[in-house]
Amino acid sequence: MRAEIKVSGIVQGVGFRPFIYRIAVKNGLKGYVRNRGDAVVEIVVEGTKNSINQLLKDLEAEKPPLTRIYKITTDYKTEEKGFSKFSIIKSSGETELAGSVIPPDVSICDNCLQELRDPVDRRFNYFFITCTDCGPRYTIINGLPYDRPNTTMNEFKMCSFCQSEYEDPANRRFHAQTVACPVCGPKAHLASNNAELIDCEDPIREAGKLLEEGYVVAIKGNGGFHVSASTTRTEPLMKLRRVKHRKNKPFAIMSPNLDTVRSFAEMNPCEAELLTSYRKPIVLLKKGSNYCLSELVSPELHTVGVMLPYTGLHAMLFDEVKEPAFVMTSANPPSEPIVTDNTEAIKKLNSTVDYFLLHNRGIAQRCDDSVVRFHGKNPCLIRRSRGYAPEPIQMKHAAECCVLAVGGELNVTSCILTGDKAFISQHIGDVENLETLLFMKKSIQHLTKLTNCNFEVVACDLHPKFTTTKLAYELGNRLNCPVVQIQHHHAHAAALMTEWNVEEVVGVVCDGYGYGQDGTAWGGEVLYCNREDFKRVGHLEAQPMVGGDLATYNPLRMAAGILHKKMDITEWLTSMSGKFPHGKNEVEVVLKQLDKGSVPETTSCGRVLDAISALLGICYERTYEGEPAMKLESVALRGEDKLNLSPVLNENVLDTTVLVHKILKNRDKVTVADLACSAQSYLARGLAQLAVEVAERLKVKHIGFSGGVACNEHIAAAIRKTVKNAGLKFLVHNKIPAGDGGTSFGQAVVAGYQKR
C-alpha cells in the first residue's frame, strides 16, 4: 500500500523531515519526505497498512517540540512504485496550499550552549552554534521551501565535518539548514566607529570588556543591531540618551542568567519560565529592593525590561566581565526601523557608538525583540515580534475570505487572515517616514509569499489620513479587491473577542487615540461587540485638548482644559508657567483658546491619566509614548485609594472633570502616591460599572479590557474585581498585544467575518 501525506503548519525549519525519516525507518516504510514551496511537508510511504497507521500516530504523538501541525491529508493508493529505501529528497517548488509558515527565531538550546562551553567540542566558543532545535529561522529566510539555498546561510558552504553531520540520521544536526562551524560558518569581528578592523583573538569577549569599561558598542544579532552599554556607569548611558534623542524612554537590558537578574529585580515563576523559554523575550520586571543598576536605565519607572542571552554571541559577551547586565536597545535612528546591514550600521551609527561587533551573515528579515509584562500569572504582550512572529493565532471560526490588514499608525503590525488562522507580522513601528513604510511593504510582501495567500479584502483603520489607510487603498487598487475601514476601538474589542473565541463581548477599550465614527477623538470606550458589528454603549466624558496634538506632548494643557470647566484657572496656570516650553506666553495662548471655546475634544483615557500625572508633578512632558501614564502608575503602586470616589455617571458617560478637580483640591492634604492610586481606581471602577450595567442589560457573559491602558496592572486588576463580583467573566489579552500592535488582527477579523 502507498500513502501520500501532506502536512501543513509550522513543519519546515523545525527538524520535521529528519523526524519523519526516523519514524518511517522505525516502522519499516520506504519512500520519501520533502519540503514544498507552500511551506507544506510532503510524505510518500509504501508498506503495510498497520505500519502506515503507526507512522501517522507517531507523527502526532512524537513530533519535534517546535512543530505546529494544522492539517494532515492522507491519500491512499493501491499500486506501489517500489521504493528501495526511505529518503529525504530534494525540495519541490510546488505551491498548492495556503496557511503554512516557517517558525519564528528560536533561542539557543541547552545542548548547543553546552557544546559552546566544551573545550573539546569542534564548536567550542563558536558564536553561531545552532541545530535543528534552535537558531534563526524567520530572520534568515528569503523564500520557500525552507532549505539552505533559500536562506542567508546560502553563501556559507558546509565543510566536510558539517556535511557529515548534516547527512547523519543519528545526529542532532541531521538536515539542519543553519549548520556551521568555525571553519565554514559566519565569522565575527570587532571594528572601530570609523569601520577600521581591530585585530584581536576573541572579538566577542573583547566587546564585553569594552562595554564594562564604559564604551558604547553596536552589536549585530539575528534580526538586527543592538546598541549596547554598561548598566552601572552613568557616562555611557548619558551619551546613549543624548545621541539617540531618548531623554527618558527606558532601555531594555540583557543579563547573563536568572541568578543575576534576581540581584536587581523581582521575578515570579511565570516570569522566570518565559525568560528561559525558547522565545526569550524582554520581560518587564519590578525593580528589586536591592536594585543596583543606574537610574538612567529606566528613569522614574518601577519596572525594568530584562532578557537573557538568546544566541551564542550574547552568552559569550558576559564570560569575562562582572557587569550584571548590558543595555540592549534596538539600533535605529529616531522613527526608523532597526538597522540590519553592516554598511548601513556604520553609516547611521558611527556617531552613536565607539565600536561595532559585526558578523558576515546577512539578515533577510529585520525583527525587534518582543516585550511582555505579567499581571500576576497572565502574560500581557506589549510587542509581539522575535520568538513569536510569524506563528499564527488559531481561531474558532474560519473567515469568509482571505484578508490583509495593515493596522493603524503607531506600533504597527500587519496581519494576514486565511481560514481559521491569523498570521501577524513582526513589529513594524510607527509609520511616520519612508524607511518604515518601505519596511512595512516588504514585510507584507514576504509574509504573503510565505503563507501563499491571495487576498480578497484589504482592511485598515477608519482614519482617512493615516499612512496605512492610504497604503490599504493602494493595495486594494493593485489587487483589485475592496478596502474595509474598521473603527480603531472596534478592532481592539474584536481582537480580544476572537482571541478568546467568544461570540460577543462588552469591551472596555482605553488608549490614547482612535478616530471615532463621529469624527472625534475616542479613547475611553465601552463597546458592545459581536462577530457582525459593534455599538458604542458608553465612554469617558469628552475633554478639551488645548492645542490639539500639543496636548499629548504637554499634558498640563489637558489638565488646564479639564479644570477650566469648573473653576477659574488663571492663577493656577500662571503659577505653572515654568513647566510650559514657552512659559507665560504659552499660558496666555492656552487661556485665550479656552475662553474662546473652539478646542477639539477627546474621550481618551490616556489623556486623562496624562493630565493627572502633570497635575501631581509626576510628568510635565511626554518624551515617549505613554510616559506620563506609565510614571503615574509607578507612583500609584506606592499609594492607596484614599479618596475612594464613587463613579459619577451621566447617561452612560463617566464624569472625569470631578476626578481631576478633586485631585487638585486634595494636593496639599493627601500624598501624591495616594492621589495617583485614587485616580486610577476611580477610572477603573467607573468603566467597570458602565460595562457591568451594559452586560447585565444585554445579557452578555463576558467583559473584556483592551487598548494600551490595559497594560496598566492596577487598572486591569480593579476592573477584574468589579466584573467578577458581578458574576461575569473577565477577558484580557495574552496572545496578542493589548495596544496598537494588535489592531491589525482585529481589523482582519472584522473584515474576514463579514460576508462578501
Which CATH number is associated with domain 540-732?
3.30.420.40
Q: ω before 145 within 30° of 0 (cis)?
A: yes
583: number of Cβ within 10 Å: 11
CA distance 149 to 518: 53
pLDDT for residue 100: 87
Tell me what pLDDT residue 755 has: 58
Q: How far apart are CA 354 and CA 398, in angstroms?
A: 52
Give the model's pLDDT for residue 78: 86
Strand order, beta sheet including 41-46 = 68-77, 2-10, 41-46, 30-35, 86-88
User: Do residues 32 and 83 touch, judged by C-beta distance below 8 A?
Assistant: yes
Identity of the residue numbered 668: D
Q: For residue 405, which of 751, 753, 754 has the smallest C-alpha distance?
A: 751
In which element (H, E) is residue 349 found? helix 342-349
Which grid cell sits at 309?
542571552
Structure confidence at residue 364 (pLDDT): 96
Tell which residue, 391, 352, 349, has the closest CA to residue 370. 391
Question: What's the confidence (pLDDT) of residue 404?
Answer: 98
Beta strand extents in 182-325 (DSSP E only): 188-192, 197-198, 217-220, 225-230, 253-254, 282-286, 303-307
Domain with CATH 3.30.420.40 in the chain: 540-732
Would you state the pLDDT for residue 531?
81
Neighbour count for residue 440 (Cβ, 10 Å) = 23
Distance CA 711, CA 724 (A): 19
For 188-359, the fitting CATH number among 2.40.170.20, 3.40.50.300, 3.90.870.40, 3.30.465.10 is 3.90.870.40
CA dist 39 and 94 (Å) reads 10
The predicted structure's pLDDT at residue 358: 98
Q: Which three cell numbers stand for residue 229?
A: 552599554
Kindly report, as residue ranges, where domains of CATH 3.30.420.360 are found in the chain. Answer: 392-489+738-753
Q: Terminal CA-to-CA distance of the chain, rounded, Å? A: 44
Q: Establish whether the linkage from the previous residue to 203 is cis, with ω within 30° of 0.
A: no
DSSP state of 543: E
| Low-confidence spans in the chain with pLDDT less than 50 | 756
d(CA 233, CA 235): 6
User: Hey, which residues does 527 pair with through a beta bridge?
Assistant: 507, 536
Class of domain 2-88: alpha beta
Q: Which fold has domain 392-489+738-753?
A: Nucleotidyltransferase; domain 5 (3.30.420)
State how far Cα 317 lies from the chain centre: 25
pLDDT, tens only, 305-359: 999 999 999 999 999 999 999 999 999 887 789 999 999 999 999 999 999 999 9
239 conformational bin, left if phi > 0, alpha if psi -120 to 50, beta if neither: alpha
- pLDDT score of 98: 87
In the chain, ranges of CATH 3.30.70.100 domains? 2-88
pTM for this entry? 0.96
Q: Which amino acid is at 276?
A: T
Three cell numbers, residue 321:
566581565
Q: Where in the chain is the domain with CATH 3.90.870.40?
A: 188-359
